[in-house]
Amino acid sequence: MSEQQLYDVLIVGGGPAGMTAGLYAGRANLKVAMIERGMPGGQASTTHLIENFPGVESIDGPSLAMIMHKQATDFGCEMITAEVERIENIEGKMKKVITSRGEYLTKTIVLTPGAEPKKLGVPGEDELRGRGVSYCATCDGAFFRGKELVVIGGGDSAVEEGIYLTRHASKVTIIHRRDQLRAQKILQDRAFANEKISFIWDTVVEEIAGENKVEKVLMKNVKTGETSEYPCDGVFIYVGMKPNTDFLTGAENLLDESGYIPTNAKMATKIPGVFAAGDVRDTVLRQVVTATGDGAIAAFYAGHYVEMWTEDGE
């Protein structure tokens, strides 16, 4: 890729927000490319079942991601497989995105890097990752057929993925630090009705232990202080998300104290010509449907910015 080529819109990240922005920018006849380091789809592509996307009764995440990808490319969005390392001159008129495959110039940027699962931060987690520790039930659940698993967390992801794991595991135990779940009631009802799922309340995991593979977790009851061990063959961790904004070195003013990007209703950030959409935004709801809405709005107003950019003279 030559850095002499100038894009109207560069999209950083290939989840639902990024692919929707690519679709809308392409349909607006803008010169647009999306930079994604891996397979398109983001967190949605690791979800085994999506049943709250309007117009689709139910679909697995990877299939929905492939449909979105095709729609974006059919309307002219270029796909670049690369890791974004940093953005230079982000506050200038001509912005430069530095990647593992070269440099790209653009008039506007739509940031849709998404978020990734937070680590628990306990001994054994890193050492046993890939040897029983996982953050993706859809990716790794089939490796645990007939095994006993632990899921850590109490939100939508923990409960939904815990339910999914019962397809493979003989038993799933959800460990939560509170005395009730935070997940949507429909998910709670499904979990409570599932004979393979049990719960350990008011408890945190302090260590994941095993020799070359997960064998047990060491727990503490947060109310009594009592410690105990719980044998298991795998641990799936769902304790929140961390925004993928480490590459924004030098543009920390874009971020809030948690690393997310605040925007206005037009998806515009504090920096002119820079927009953000999807899970990386400071927002109250992070779902596929909200991400796609964000992406459409961001592309629309990026197009407006390009018009003003052109009127001012290139």
> Which residues are catalytic, by number?
136, 139-140
Nearest to 280 by CA among 109, 164, 82: 109
DSSP class of residue 118 equals P
The CA distances from residue 219 to 17, 102, 126, 177, 265, in Å, are 38, 47, 17, 10, 43
Tokens of 190: 């499904």
Contacts of residue 98, defined as CB under 8 A and 6 or more positions apart, other chains included, come to: 84, 85, 86, 87, 88
Tokens of 309: 């950019």
Alpha helical stretches, state H, the chain: 16-27, 61-74, 137-140, 156-165, 185-193, 288-311
How many whole angstroms separate alpha carbon 197 and alpha carbon 165? Answer: 10
Tracing tokens 């390392």 back to the chain, one arrives at 85
How many whole angstroms separate alpha carbon 270 and alpha carbon 254? Answer: 6
How many whole angstroms separate alpha carbon 179 and alpha carbon 191? Answer: 15
Q: What is the full DSSP assignment across 31-69? A: -EEEEESSSTTGGGGG-S-B--STT-S-B-HHHHHHHHH
